Amino acid sequence: MKDIESLGLTKQRRAVLRAVRESDRHLNANEVFDDARQHLAGISFATVYNSLNYLKKEGLIGEIRFGTDAKLYDRKLEHHDHAICNECGKLVDLELPMPEGLLEAAAERSNFKAETIELTLRGLCPDCS
Amino acid sequence: MKDIESLGLTKQRRAVLRAVRESDRHLNANEVFDDARQHLAGISFATVYNSLNYLKKEGLIGEIRFGTDAKLYDRKLEHHDHAICNECGKLVDLELPMPEGLLEAAAERSNFKAETIELTLRGLCPDCS
DNA sequence: ATCAGAATTAGAATGATTCCAAATAAACAT
DNA sequence: ATGTTTATTTGGAATCATTCTAATTCTGAT
């Protein structure tokens, strides 16, 4: 991940980054587009996608993909887990302590070189239960 | 989940179920279609999708969705976890002991009514590392 | 046989995302 | 400053997975 200053972000990319950063929810590409448009009227859909991919590559935003068909973008970069509602599809962030030895156990059984382990709780959100 | 016998599966649905059951990999809808065609020449794409959704609803097959854009279907129904390769996208099943109290901790922090918790290891598969 | 409801079919439609080729803008050397 | 390369943006077309639709076929009960 590079220093944000050194990237010399274009105004389009700044508008996209701002949209993701200023939301406390997870946004999909369409929502990012709508928000970015309010600050930069002419920005195109293709550029929003390009920018999201670019910002993800540079480590400035996070990308999540489950539960729904569309990818969601997240201002949070640190490791965190998620809970998904089986009824309405709502996705919320979750801070969980990583159980001791879990990463190692998973790596060993899969023969994968582990990078991260994610936990996803599936159930019913407060509204749906 | 109903008794499989009592469902009176149509030959199309049996062909789809067979395709999923006889593979030791996770198949996407396209692969299921190809396989089902070999046993039931005229089956249509729409029916494969309908059948996959039906079989999933009845609890005869499992559905997973991450890492790639397409859903994957799985003969395994019992709870299990996954490992995904960050390089090539390969997805493998993983049996992990569920750490004591994790489900409860996650439910408590999210205020969700917990049903299941899934663990996903991300890293490099043996071929890519 | 007849009717109703369920399942299947082919193809059109949708939605998310990527690709493409042309237009702009920025960066860089002369 | 001027021309040249390089990166970025743009709009629209293309793609891919999936769902919808409307017509047809099958099944099973009367």
Nearest to B55 by CA among B91, B29, B93: B29
Is residue B4 scored above 80 in pLDDT? Answer: no
A127 interaction partners in chain B (CB closer than 8 Å): none
H helices, E strands: number in chain B: 4, 6
Backbone Cα Rg of chain B: 17
Q: DSSP secondary-structure letter at B40?
A: S
- Which residues touch B72 (CB under 8 Å, ≥6 apart)? B26, B27, B28, B63, B64, B65, B91
Q: Measure A4 CA to nearest chain B CA, in Å.
A: 24
What is this structure's pTM? 0.84
Predicted confidence (pLDDT) at residue A67 exceeds the cutoff of 90: no
Encode pLDDT of B42-83 as tens digits. Answer: 999 999 999 999 999 999 999 988 766 789 999 999 989 999
Which of A111, A121, A124, A125 is the best mutation test for B, with the most CBs of B within 10 A? A121
Does A16 contact strand D, using a CB cutoff of 7 Å?
Answer: no
3-state SS class at A46: helix
Is any atom of nucleic acid chain D found less than 7 Å from the CB of residue A42? yes
Distance of alpha carbon B12 from alpha carbon A118, whole angstroms: 37
Measuring alpha carbon to C1', the residue closest to nucleotide C16 is A70
Pull the structure tokens for residue A4: 């944000």
Work out the mean pLDDT of chain B and round it to a whole number: 90
